[in-house]
Amino acid sequence: MSTHSSSSCGNNDNQNDAQTISPLQFREFSDDDMLCGLKPNSRELLYLRCYLRGLQATSLIVEPRYVDWDFLSQYRVFYATSMQLITNICSRVHYFSGPVVSREIFLKALSGDKKSIEMLQKNYLGFIVIRPITNAPLGRTVLRWHEDKKKRYTPRINISSRCNRANIAGLELNVTGLCWQQQDQATSTCGSVSLWSAQLASPYKHYSSTTSEITQDAHRYYASGFRTFPSGGLKLDHIVEAIRAIRGMDACVIRGTIEITDTSIRENYGFIRYFFNCYASMFLSGGFPVLLYGEFEGRKVDHVNLMVAYRSVPPRCKESFEANAWNMQEYWLNEYYIHDDGIGPNVRCTISSAMDNDNIIPIAEKSNYIRLHYEGVGDLPAQFSCETQSSLRNCGRSSADTPSAGPKKSDKSWKDDLSEFIPTHMIVMIPEELRLVPQSFFNRSLICQFALDTWSAYMEDINQEEYPFLTFSYSLQVMSNSQYLGQVLNAVLGNNPEVLAQVRMDLMEKVSPMSKYLAVTRYSVRHPQQTDFGPFMDLLHDTSGSKLEHPIIAVVVYQRTAIEAINYIQKNPQLIVNAVHEMIGKHKMHDIIPRWAGEEYILSARVRTVRAFAEAQSDDSPSQPK
């Protein structure tokens, strides 16, 4: 057995000590940011610099030696056998706004000083993991959303975000957002990275596969001619297989409905605005992020990104009775927020397509498919989107050393050379208990809208003064029953706590057991003398059965006239069915809604009605079977 001398042992100990010493680094964001030392012409780095400037970042803390479990998984299956000698240790950078964070302030927080802890938490912007990969250094990234300055009238709906905890030397800091990372093109590409981000959203609190595991699961049962590592990208079927490999999860795939003939896109179908907004908002409102599969216009390369939020809009309407049936509130949505692995988190996109004008739905307009235009950095104005390659290269220089003539014409920003994205499929990771068929849910909701319009027209005919024609708007949402009983009802009835409490009790005690997840249709109404829409009633659809109809299990009514509408619909089912058939035929919607629409598509007399207004209780509901 060979032995080592004491001197050599001492030298090895000194070397090991030097390797384990890794003091935290405290820097100012403006003059020495970790991002400046990375690949300067990277679109992702340019975008993140813009994003952090918009958050008014002032300082940062660097953990030089950080173990990232996702990268360890990548390292195990790929980089450990590479001859490029890549380490398995990452670094992590934490960003702060407000007063510059110094070592002294941080030590106070570690000692338990409440003011220091509160200050650090208040100003904490999030973190970026830096991987030891030259071409793809950006690992797990969670950054705070920008301030929502339009919250009062058109709030941003970002329910998919969740609280992420970061522990620095025992100090726990929280940031609300959704994880993002850059694809490394070895163990992950856009599809696996997008699905990795999706599974970390708020509804999936107990599921977390690494990007390399997702790539392996995608190739396990679907052979497409591509090798697993280095990853050649995931096709649509790969993504579906990867989702099904996650225990308790299934994939909901929605294909575009309009033929595309004027571009190079290979799938030959896309989404019209109506259905794109309908299905996207349906899932995003419940916190389920939506994977978009498609390609950039003019490029014959598949791409996947992840929709994580959208900007709501006030209800609008078309005034004619014929067009009123298509007053889906979300039709007018125009802003979405996307995680794109080749750009960054929370990229603001706008819809580029022709509006419907006088057509209810332009089915015949083959070129009227939607395209997503990459608009800006989160919710920041245009001046924050001007980070360029030269400005990134000038990080750390004094103002005297920095050229003052502005960027050169050849200098690129993160937005340069970005084509519009054409989605052809939506893919949603849903729990197995959520057995939703989106098209069937849409059909039932639209037919009930026809029924309400028929009632409104009837009441206007018999008594024009007391019952002028009402304009309805409807909205489709998928959510857990706890979200509906909690946040949704509180948003409408929070100012009347007694009614709120009674409605919640009635839904628990007097309605048949609700499924874990609900498909909710919210109908809002606007009277002629009013400018705003108010909630009219909610239809709660069961999503646990095997039937495609998704039966209505309860109706929550917010106005007394809704009771009268329900009574009319229940007493005249054949009249409603005939009116629906007439509407379907008039607008040539046979390829959207089944030609046959029986009474079970209409409000049944067996449906329990819960009154959500103060004048009456729900004990003697008129919709109860006699």
- Place 262 in a pLDDT band, splitting at 50, 70 and 90: low
* pLDDT for residue 382: 67
Q: Average pLDDT of 115-128?
A: 98
Kindly indicate the confidence band of residue 234, based on its pLDDT and cuts at 50, 70 and 90: confident
Alpha helices in 291-353 (DSSP H): 321-324
**Who contacts 100 (Cβ-Cβ below 8 Å, separation ≥6)?**
28, 58, 59
Q: Are 281 and 330 in contact (CB under 8 A)?
A: yes
Q: Residue 619: pLDDT above 50?
A: no
d(Cα 626, Cα 607) in Å, to the nearest integer?
12
Q: What's the angle, vertex CA 592, arms to CA 586 and CA 594, rounded to 5?
A: 85
Position of tokens 């739905």?
361
Dihedral sign (CA 118, 120, 123, 126): negative
Mean pLDDT across 381-406: 48
Q: Name the DSSP letter for residue 344.
A: E
Contacts of residue 438, Cβ cutoff 8 Å, sequence gap at least 6:
252, 254, 279, 282
pLDDT higher than threshold 60 for residue 380: yes
State which H helix or E strand residue 533 sits in. Answer: none
Cα-Cα-Cα-Cα torsion 266, 197, 522, 473, nearest 10 degrees, comes to -50
How far, in Å, CA of 561 to CA of 565, rounded?
6
Find the mean pLDDT for residues 608-620: 65
CB 612 within 8 A of CB 493: yes
Least confident segment among 73-87, 101-115, 318-332, 525-539: 318-332
The pLDDT value recorded for residue 536 is 92
Q: How confident is the model over 69-89, as a mean pLDDT?
A: 88
> Where in 507-599 does DSSP place strands (E)?
517-526, 534-542, 552-557
DSSP letter string, 236-293? HHHHHHHHHTSTTEEEEEEE--EE--SS--SS-EE--HHHHHHHHHHHHTTT--EEEE
Lowest model confidence (mean pLDDT) among 354-368, 450-464, 475-489, 544-558: 354-368
On average, the pLDDT of the chain sits at 80
Distance between CA 599 and CA 578 in Å, rounded?
Answer: 10
**Is the model's pLDDT at 299 over the cut of 90?**
no
Q: 10 Å Cβ neighbour count for 139? A: 26
CB 341 within 8 A of CB 305: yes
- Please state whether the predicted TM-score (pTM) of the whole model is above 0.85: yes
In the structure, what pLDDT confidence band is assigned to residue 266 with cuts at 50, 70 and 90? Answer: low
| Segment 356-367 mean pLDDT | 46
- Per the listing, tokens 């909901």 go with 252
Rg of the Cα atoms in the chain? 28
